[in-house]
A and B are shown apart, each in its own frame.
Chain A
């Protein structure tokens, strides 16, 4: 008798089929990885187990959780099971916690709701749960507020909430997607340890094959609401039959083919750049204090090169990007593009700005929702003194990223995430810049889309002789597309060199730690 048995589960939302004939089982103490890209139905499968479906959702089939028929239970009975028998960990630790409640109270709340215990006892249980999630009492008293914790620590609090009642099944929906790679490794090993110690069934939902490859006992691959393949891990990686699973495996470690066009001449040179931020004054007449986000960084990018800048959140890479783009003035040092200062006097230099463009991470937030693609894509024309043939340029830019000229009249909400990122690239390309800064440009994309975008970038790089600065926290991306790499920590560059050297023979302790933390495919 399995802990969780899903058999022939179908789900419709407002009449649209979302899941079709999904079957899987989770045994006690077993870790089951559910893998799929966005829209594959992996989260909806988890929601069906919890019976927290969106309005208009209608599930049929069997979902049996330790002898409860989840689809037949009343809402009241389900409330008793949620939290008690099933715990859930969500993707976004920033929004999963109540910002005005102390962490102890939030963990104790789950205990108080489900069990008839005194407040003191509930807090005692909460403390134990936090301890088990590696948040020791001396450093993390229960009176802490979520904003005092880092992303990884918040995710531990969320996990503590989920395990406080020692549920039989723990569902983790993309628990590490929003986290840095070293934090991801810690949170994953924590989840694994908890599942093993308590004999909890763990259902781990992710888009990243490598994440589950390391720790799952069993893997289920989903696509378009159906299970395409499932089997024990890691044996499944050798016996994969379905073309989709094979393709998924192939694109996870995709290496775009690139033609070398690197010259020795430096295109961008950053020398001793320092960026300070004024901190809020603690007292009215207190001395102004500064936080130094970038501490004297120097590097060159050669024309035609792809340079990777790797670092975790808060390391100063975004600040550095803004300085290079001339959006903020630096306190010390100089940034030269093609021999000219990015910032002259108090004004950004227009002539220099014309030579660089940027692509951002979020395909949803990068576009004004009220503009047509024509207007969005042609925005950088503002930098030009004399306009080229507008329509022709827009059509050319759209075609070079694999869209059609007719897309210019559409609005951005008519496009998928991958297509939006193509439009972002078209916007960057339209004024024929020399340097394109890719600020986590593929991090939010599904692996197969990511592979396509990386291919597109490699192709465009060769065709237009582009130079790329890849800024990413994701080492696997940087590894496959960059000639050289910089590793940044606490506002300083701690290691630099040819990509292959850095990955094979890392010198700095931090680089070693980063590389070790990357989940690997077998």
Chain B
């Protein structure tokens, strides 16, 4: 068993579990204000303490995981659903006008810093979780399109693709029957890594107030709000920060581990 994969899966699995459990049960209500209980340090009653409104931080991290995961899942989904077909199409008609348009379009999106465009989109269309998702999703499109195109180009030279062409199969059919199944490994690995980047991006957008809006808890906003109180209540910043760190670390380890397990060449080299 791959150690990186195990540690990564346990870490990210723990946060996914927390997000799921939060739908049916959280220790404390995260929308209720309890000023009398504000800024409590971690104790048995409040495992990770309370914030300046007296909300339980452990509960907020559980619900915040929901927001982060939802944003990242949908954003990676958008990137894959649009990026993968674009990459397949570009590879199938290599050198054509369509290939050029797709790849230059990719370059265009890549040319802008992602957070900047995300800020622009949310500034124009209003700050909300949905707009954050769209902004992050757009930046996942070229990543997947380029990855798939590169891998597909080498697959198109294989004899089994030639055999499929001899059997009269068209480019679209070959792309979905022969190319796509052989790039899924890459997609899983890249998907995991993009997922962690999506969580980071969501946290970043929430931090500047352009992600999920109050009262929905979000790790990024928890960090932003804790900033002014860091000197006397550091636990407000430490715990959401740790949540982000551990999730991203977990997902990256999982991505690395999956790459080793799924790529037979690396597997052989490692042994």
Other-chain contact of A365, B160, B178, B181 (Cβ < 8 Å): B160
A56 to B270, CA, bound (A): 12
Chain A neighbourhood of B168, CB < 8 A: 348, 350, 353, 382-383
Nearest-neighbour CB distance to chain B for A366, whole angstroms, equals 4
| Most B C-beta atoms less than 10 A away, residue of A348, A379, A427 | A379
Q: Which of A86-94, A124-132, A261-269, A354-362 contacts B (4 or more CB under 8 A)?
A: A354-362
Chain B neighbourhood of A424, CB < 8 A: 163
| Cβ–Cβ contact B166 & A357, under 8 A | yes
| Cβ–Cβ contact B181 & A368, under 8 A | yes
A368 to B162, CA, bound (A): 11
A353 to B166, CA, bound (A): 7
| Cβ–Cβ contact A360 & B159, under 8 A | yes
| Cβ–Cβ contact A382 & B167, under 8 A | yes
Chain B neighbourhood of A360, CB < 8 A: 159, 162-163
A55 — nearest CB in chain B belongs to which residue? B271
| Cβ–Cβ contact B158 & A325, under 8 A | no
Chain A neighbourhood of B162, CB < 8 A: 327, 358, 360
Nearest-neighbour CB distance to chain A for B230, whole angstroms, equals 51
> B186 on the interface (CB 8 Å rule)?
no
A381 to B163, CA, bound (A): 12
Nearest-neighbour CB distance to chain B for A503, whole angstroms, equals 30
| Cβ–Cβ contact B166 & A370, under 8 A | no
Chain A neighbourhood of B167, CB < 8 A: 379-383
| B residues 139-186 touching A (CB-CB < 8 Å) | 158-160, 162-169, 177-178, 181-182
Chain A neighbourhood of B178, CB < 8 A: 368
> A369 on the interface (CB 8 Å rule)?
yes
| Cβ–Cβ contact A325 & B182, under 8 A | no
Chain A neighbourhood of B177, CB < 8 A: 368
A254 to B167, CA, bound (A): 32
A383 to B167, CA, bound (A): 6
Chain B neighbourhood of A56, CB < 8 A: 271
| Cβ–Cβ contact B159 & A427, under 8 A | no
A383 to B169, CA, bound (A): 8
B270 — nearest CB in chain A belongs to which residue? A55
B184 — nearest CB in chain A belongs to which residue? A370
Nearest-neighbour CB distance to chain A for B243, whole angstroms, equals 38
A356 to B163, CA, bound (A): 11
> A415 on the interface (CB 8 Å rule)?
no
Nearest-neighbour CB distance to chain B for A276, whole angstroms, equals 16
A370 to B178, CA, bound (A): 9
| Most A C-beta atoms less than 10 A away, residue of B159, B163, B166, B177 | B166
A325 — nearest CB in chain B belongs to which residue? B166
| A residues 466-516 touching B (CB-CB < 8 Å) | none
A258 to B163, CA, bound (A): 27
Chain B neighbourhood of A379, CB < 8 A: 163-164, 167, 169
Given contacts A325-B166, A382-B168, whether A368 and B182 have CB atoms under 8 Å apart is yes
Other-chain contact of A327, B158, B159, B165 (Cβ < 8 Å): B165
Which secondary structure dominates where chain B touches chain A?
helix
Chain B neighbourhood of A55, CB < 8 A: 271
A322 to B62, CA, bound (A): 60
- Which of under 10, 10 to 19, 20 to 34, or 35 or more describes the interface residues of B? 10 to 19
Other-chain contact of A358, B158, B166, B169 (Cβ < 8 Å): B166
Residue interface bits A360-399, CB-to-B below 8 A is 1, else 0: 1110011111100000100111110000000000000000
A38 to B162, CA, bound (A): 27
Nearest-neighbour CB distance to chain A for B182, whole angstroms, equals 6
A379 to B181, CA, bound (A): 16
A369 to B182, CA, bound (A): 8
| Cβ–Cβ contact A327 & B181, under 8 A | no
A353 to B163, CA, bound (A): 12
Nearest-neighbour CB distance to chain A for B55, whole angstroms, equals 50
Nearest-neighbour CB distance to chain A for B30, whole angstroms, equals 45
| Cβ–Cβ contact A366 & B166, under 8 A | no
B178 — nearest CB in chain A belongs to which residue? A368
| Cβ–Cβ contact A358 & B163, under 8 A | yes
A367 to B164, CA, bound (A): 10
Chain A neighbourhood of B166, CB < 8 A: 325, 327, 353, 356-358, 380
| Most A C-beta atoms less than 10 A away, residue of B167, B169, B182 | B167
| Cβ–Cβ contact A427 & B163, under 8 A | yes
| Cβ–Cβ contact A366 & B163, under 8 A | yes
Nearest-neighbour CB distance to chain A for B218, whole angstroms, equals 40
A349 — nearest CB in chain B belongs to which residue? B168
Nearest-neighbour CB distance to chain B for A385, whole angstroms, equals 11
Nearest-neighbour CB distance to chain B for A489, whole angstroms, equals 24
Chain A neighbourhood of B271, CB < 8 A: 55-56
Nearest-neighbour CB distance to chain B for A40, whole angstroms, equals 22
| Most A C-beta atoms less than 10 A away, residue of B168, B177, B181, B182 | B168
Nearest-neighbour CB distance to chain B for A359, whole angstroms, equals 9
A350 to B170, CA, bound (A): 12
| Cβ–Cβ contact A366 & B164, under 8 A | no
B161 — nearest CB in chain A belongs to which residue? A368
| Cβ–Cβ contact B158 & A382, under 8 A | no
Nearest-neighbour CB distance to chain A for B239, whole angstroms, equals 44
Nearest-neighbour CB distance to chain B for A117, whole angstroms, equals 34
Nearest-neighbour CB distance to chain A for B88, whole angstroms, equals 15
Chain B neighbourhood of A380, CB < 8 A: 166-167
B182 — nearest CB in chain A belongs to which residue? A370
| Most A C-beta atoms less than 10 A away, residue of B160, B162, B165, B177 | B160
Nearest-neighbour CB distance to chain B for A199, whole angstroms, equals 39
A413 — nearest CB in chain B belongs to which residue? B264
Nearest-neighbour CB distance to chain B for A281, whole angstroms, equals 12
| B residues 117-137 touching A (CB-CB < 8 Å) | none
Chain A neighbourhood of B181, CB < 8 A: 368, 370
A275 to B167, CA, bound (A): 22
Nearest-neighbour CB distance to chain A for B101, whole angstroms, equals 19
Nearest-neighbour CB distance to chain A for B152, whole angstroms, equals 13
| A residues 307-326 touching B (CB-CB < 8 Å) | 325
Chain A neighbourhood of B165, CB < 8 A: 325, 327
A327 — nearest CB in chain B belongs to which residue? B165
Nearest-neighbour CB distance to chain A for B241, whole angstroms, equals 42
A368 to B158, CA, bound (A): 9
| Cβ–Cβ contact A367 & B160, under 8 A | yes
Other-chain contact of A366, B160, B169, B182 (Cβ < 8 Å): B160
Other-chain contact of B159, A357, A365, A370, A383 (Cβ < 8 Å): A365
A357 to B164, CA, bound (A): 10
Nearest-neighbour CB distance to chain A for B168, whole angstroms, equals 5
Question: Could you show 5 A-B contacts with beta carbons less than 8 Å apart?
Answer: A350-B168, A358-B163, A365-B160, A368-B177, A379-B167
Q: Which residues of B contact A (CB under 8 A)?
A: 158-160, 162-169, 177-178, 181-182, 271
Q: Which 6 A-B residue pairs are closest in the complex by CB-CB distance?
A: A360-B159, A366-B159, A380-B167, A383-B168, A370-B181, A365-B159
Known A327-B166, A366-B159, A368-B181; 12 more pairs at CB < 8 Å: A353-B168, A358-B162, A358-B163, A361-B159, A367-B160, A368-B178, A379-B167, A379-B169, A380-B167, A381-B167, A382-B167, A427-B163
